[in-house]
Amino acid sequence: MGTTRLMSRRRQDQGSKWARVFMAVLATVGVIDTGSITLHRWGWLGSLSCPGGSNGCDKVLNSPWGTLFSLNGIQIPLSFFGLIAYILILTMAILPLLPGISGNKIDLSRRTWWGLFVVSCGMTAFSFLLLWVMFFKINAFCFFCILSGFISLTLLCISLLGGGWDDMGKLIFRGVLISLAVLLGGLIWTSSVDPSQAAGDASRPGMPPLVETRSTPDKISLAKHLTSSGAVMYSAYWCPHCHDQKEMFGKEAVSKLRIVECASDGDNNQRDLCLRKGIEGFPTWEINGRMDSGVKELSELAELSGYKFSE
């Protein structure tokens, strides 16, 4: 032969039929995983039950790395592109198995195996990058993210073992090139959205640290409701519990809250007001004329202020 092709040793179909079936099953789980996250981020699905604690999942999914970009005011979460990738895997896995497919099935099988390898290879490389961000940048645990990374790696392994490749060395070489390209692009993106890389007002004395998480529509609505009902959060820029409370809301929702700076050396502080109110601990919430100290769950703030979360 003039050129060496990475083809199956099988004469009727490239690779294993059962490998395709297994990949289709795993891709379906991935669709459910990333689809649930996407619908939750868009406010179309209620709270997610996250093994290991929902706070970790919320912190990861609402972080700056949880959203790729905004389009006409609509946030496009990173999970949406994971959803598209899993749908592609599912389609390519089952397409040659469907009855009634006309044409050259051997060529279709070869092309779809290549597609399965390329997509799963890119997904695995990007998943490892995201797991690094989750553990070392966000410092949180998200079961759904780890599940997606595990599924991506398993899909890649199945595509390697079940594809019936003739030249495994050339296949692995091309996989390394694909992974390096994905990692390079991913590193550029993760650095561009890293809040620690941004030179902002947080570097000025008396300024609180930047809020990194992103807000869901419900959190923004709650923040607006609290402000419209006269609720106030008394805070100090150096207070870690105050920062934790803000992270629970997310940066978009925090901008809607009325937050009073009580530290005497804080930027734009209202120290006299805090003294008149008798503020002794941070954060302290003033809701309906009642003072309540400590970090509050958003559900508790909603109950205290009479806000109803959407179903």
Assign 3-class secondary structure to 146-189. HHHHHHHHHHHHHHHHHCCCCCHHHHHHHHHHHHHHHHHHHHHH
pLDDT of residue 70: 65
From residue 294, how far is each of 127, 279, 280, 291 by CA, in Å?
36, 12, 11, 10
Q: Answer whether residue 1 is part of any domain.
A: no
Q: Are residues 33 and 131 in the same domain?
A: yes
24, 90 contact by CB (below 8 A):
yes
- The predicted model gives 138-149 an average pLDDT of 88
In the beta sheet, which residues pair with residue 259? 233
The Cα-based distances of 95 to 14, 100, 115, 183 in angstroms read: 13, 10, 12, 29
- For residue 288, tell me if it sits in a domain: yes
Residue 259, helix vs strand vs coil: strand
- As a whole number, mean pLDDT of residues 242-256 equals 91
Query: How many angstroms separate the CA atoms of 66 and 146, rounded?
Result: 14
Residue 8 has a pLDDT of: 39
Instruction: Report if residue 291 sits inside a domain.
Output: yes
pTM: 0.65
Whether 60 and 191 share a structural domain: yes
Q: Does residue 2 or residue 55 have the better pLDDT?
A: 55
Quick one: DSSP state of residue 135? I
For residue 216, pLDDT beyond 70: yes
The mean predicted confidence, pLDDT, of the chain is 85
Question: How many domains are contained in the chain?
Answer: 2
Judge contact between 252 and 214, C-beta under 8 A: yes
Average pLDDT estimate for 169-189: 95
Pinpoint the alpha helices (H) of 100-257.
105-133, 143-162, 168-193, 217-228, 240-249, 251-254
Instruction: Give the tokens for residue 183.
Output: 């990692």
SS3 71: strand
Contact 295, 255 (CB under 8 A): no
State whether 23 and 37 are in the same domain.
yes
pLDDT for res 100: 74
Let me know: does 70 contact 76? Beta carbons within 8 Å: yes
When mean pLDDT is compared over 72-81, 118-127, 195-204, the highest value belongs to 118-127
Q: DSSP 3-state assignment of 293?
A: strand
Residues 142 and 91 in one domain: yes
Return the closest-CA partner of residue 130 out of 81, 86, 200.
81
Average pLDDT for 42-60: 71
Kindly report the CATH number assigned to the domain that includes residue 270: 3.40.30.10
Q: Both 102 and 215 in a single domain? A: no
In a domain, 70, yes or no: yes
The answer on 162 and 101 residing in a single domain is: yes
Dump pLDDT digits (tens) for 3-44. Answer: 444 443 344 456 789 999 999 999 999 999 999 988 877 778
Q: Are 67 and 76 in contact (CB under 8 A)?
A: yes
Q: In this structure, are 148 and 212 located in the same domain?
A: no
Residues 173 and 288 in one domain: no
Q: Which residue has the higher pLDDT, 14 or 220?
A: 220
Q: Is residue 139 very low, low, confident or very high in pLDDT (cuts 50, 70, 90)?
A: confident
124 plus 261 within the same structural domain: no
Q: How far apart are CA 74 and CA 158, in angstroms?
A: 36
In which domain, by residue range, is 299 found? 202-305
> Does 11 fall in a domain?
no
Residue 11, pLDDT score: 40
- The amino acid occupying position 31 is V
